Structure 1
């Protein structure tokens, strides 16, 4: 295959670029475009030879795009207009302006790209933006498939369910069976992490709501029996690797700086998602990891000899000092940014410039994507 010329939109820290490398497809990124200055510093640090445009997409003319003569578009538009915890402004949100501009210029390009891959959050699949996307692609002669995939399906112990669309100009349709072969069903019972190929009209099954506590009594740590059973099932799934495979080898030497402070332990102990190195699961790491606790990512129990139940049972009856003493037995710490990057499939060659703070590293990783998942989709798209 001839080397593909690739345009990387919303390039962030280069997750798509790394996925392209991981896929083994002969390709050259002819331009990467983003306006986040921190992300651009990291991108340039890792890909110094790739042209990086620090400008708004809607500020680039059709002529400028035509001059790039690209064969493929990779893009991960801003997710805030579609995320479940946001306002869900959809196409009325100003942050969709650049994406709508892309849909507007696609039919007007001198040479339309042969391949397109788009990633976004769960929620995009029911948006008006998605409706405009598939309408534009159909009118431009693309065949496409949409799929919801989590890294669990490629053996990575991290839940990060995302919407993906792969499209190509071809008379040969993308086969659903090939997609499902690339992302096999896991043995776990949690349907929210299973790969789902979407029909052209219908939304995917949502599975049981994470907040649905009907028929489940609370155990210690504000956890229902249903929650506990789901986590046990996930940890029994031998098709998924263990957390310890993704940990930094010598981080215990500097563990103190990653330990959860007493104030955090006191305030959020009953809400923490705690995993051990032998676990085969972790929750999605978001851009708030390290700053906020609830719903931003799992924390690691370093002292595995201590039973979690023994620490949490009767904890609410203890004084604050006793609570801290009890909780400290678990030696709970944040995953390091390098470990989060490992769980997101970034290669060991990926690194951060020295001036990027730990909080900034967590933030840009939370905005990125799983490299291994995208690499498999690219292989399917180009095959």
Structure 2
């Protein structure tokens, strides 16, 4: 059987491509398309043999798409038009223009792709762009499923809830009667590995957690509900511990990743602190390493200092003493390699040496979880294409 011919739109640093390689399907990315120069540099570093078009999608004529004879489209359109911080301007946002162009092209293709997989942020499911997507897919004869899943669903200790749509232009496999319902679990599938991973969607919480995060954390600026949620997450034995995703060589450059004194003094009460034994971390965004609030968790490197003891009565001390106590925790940022690990990128993934750390965080924050997409591709692409 000939490999599937895949078009990768908004290719970024290659998350979709890595997922395709991991899912066991005989496939070839015939073209990747993106306008981000840094992301393209990283993509070409990892996939030097894949043609990469560094141009805007809406600048590519229909004729060029028809020449590709594609079987599948994988895409992760810009998410800013659908986020709260992006003002949710939806289809009037200029960054949605290329996606609307893709929707306009789809029914005009001489041979529309049999498969489509799309990823975007939570919020896309309520957008006009999503409504247009569903309308076009229906008119073009696609059956599809929509879902909201997080990497915790496959045992990864990172919360990154995302919208996914799988579409198949066939009478088989995907049922049309699920159009209106957005799933919160992976669809049932015959593949044993997928079913085992899907079982993780039913958390098996124990009565008490293990590790430092089961202490009372109300000394920080969080509600009791937030405290209980974190304890519950750390009690879920179906989630792997953070320590399995850490870089063993980070101690060689530890100073580079430690939080600066001014950051500790200003933001300590709102830091999301995790430990190597934790089974949770918050979503890493493109601002990680530059901004603190809501951009991702920080790791307590010290195994001797007690977090609760350090924070208890902290504001009663002088600035010098507060800093001394906070520094005993050895709080650090996750390295780009560690963030990539938590986002499911394989060990073979690498950054070119000349890409700065800040840029590495930025492109990772715009990427997707490779393991989640790999599982979805296994479901979307039927057994006839699996290399088994």
Once residues 166 and 241 of structure 2 are traced to their aligned partners in structure 1, the CA distance between those partners, rounded to angstroms, is 30
Q: Is the 8 A contact 1:188 1:233 kept in 2?
A: no
Taking structure 1 as the reference length, what is the TM-score of the superposition? Answer: 0.91
- Secondary structure of 2:82 counterpart: coil
Q: Is the 8 A contact 2:204 2:237 kept in 1?
A: no
Q: Is the 8 A contact 1:144 1:173 kept in 2?
A: no
Q: Residue 147 of structure 1 corresponds to which residue in structure 2?
A: 147
Deviations 1:359-380 (Å, cap 9, x if unpaired)? 0000000000000000000000
Map of 1:173-192 to 2, 5 A cutoff? 173-174=173-174, 176-178=187-189, 181=195, 183-184=198-199, 185-187=201-203
Q: Residue 291 of structure 1 corresponds to which residue in structure 2?
A: 290
Q: Residue 334 of structure 2 corresponds to which residue in structure 1?
A: 335
What is the RMSD of the two structures over their aligned residues, measured on CA atoms? Answer: 1.5
Once residues 177 and 122 of structure 1 are traced to their aligned partners in structure 2, the CA distance between those partners, rounded to angstroms, is 22
Q: Residue 352 of structure 2 corresponds to which residue in structure 1?
A: 353
Report deviation, 1:218. 8.7
Quick check: 111-120 or 229-238, which moved more?
A: 229-238
- Secondary structure of 1:220 counterpart: coil
Q: Residue 119 of structure 1 corresponds to which residue in structure 2?
A: 119
Once residues 223 and 49 of structure 1 are traced to their aligned partners in structure 2, the CA distance between those partners, rounded to angstroms, is 49
Taking structure 2 as the reference length, what is the TM-score of the superposition? Answer: 0.89
Q: Which runs of 4+ in 1 moved over 6 A?
A: none
Q: Is the 8 A contact 1:56 1:98 kept in 2?
A: yes
Report deviation, 1:254. 1.9
Q: Residue 51 of structure 1 corresponds to which residue in structure 2?
A: 51
Quick check: 170-179 or 30-39, which moved more?
A: 170-179
Aligned residues: 356
Q: Is the 8 A contact 2:62 2:109 kept in 1?
A: yes
Deviations 1:224-249 (Å, cap 9, x if unpaired)? 22111111111111111000000001
Once residues 354 and 259 of structure 1 are traced to their aligned partners in structure 2, the CA distance between those partners, rounded to angstroms, is 21
Q: Residue 247 of structure 1 corresponds to which residue in structure 2?
A: 246
- Secondary structure of 1:81 counterpart: helix
Q: Residue 368 of structure 2 corresponds to which residue in structure 1?
A: 369
Change (3 A) 1:85 1:2: same
- Secondary structure of 1:380 counterpart: helix
Deviations 1:88-142 (Å, cap 9, x if unpaired)? 0000000000000000010000000000000000000000000000000000000
Once residues 52 and 177 of structure 1 are traced to their aligned partners in structure 2, the CA distance between those partners, rounded to angstroms, is 35
Once residues 203 and 320 of structure 2 are traced to their aligned partners in structure 1, the CA distance between those partners, rounded to angstroms, is 42
Once residues 364 and 329 of structure 1 are traced to their aligned partners in structure 2, the CA distance between those partners, rounded to angstroms, is 31
Gaps of 5+ in 2: 176-186, 206-215, 383-388
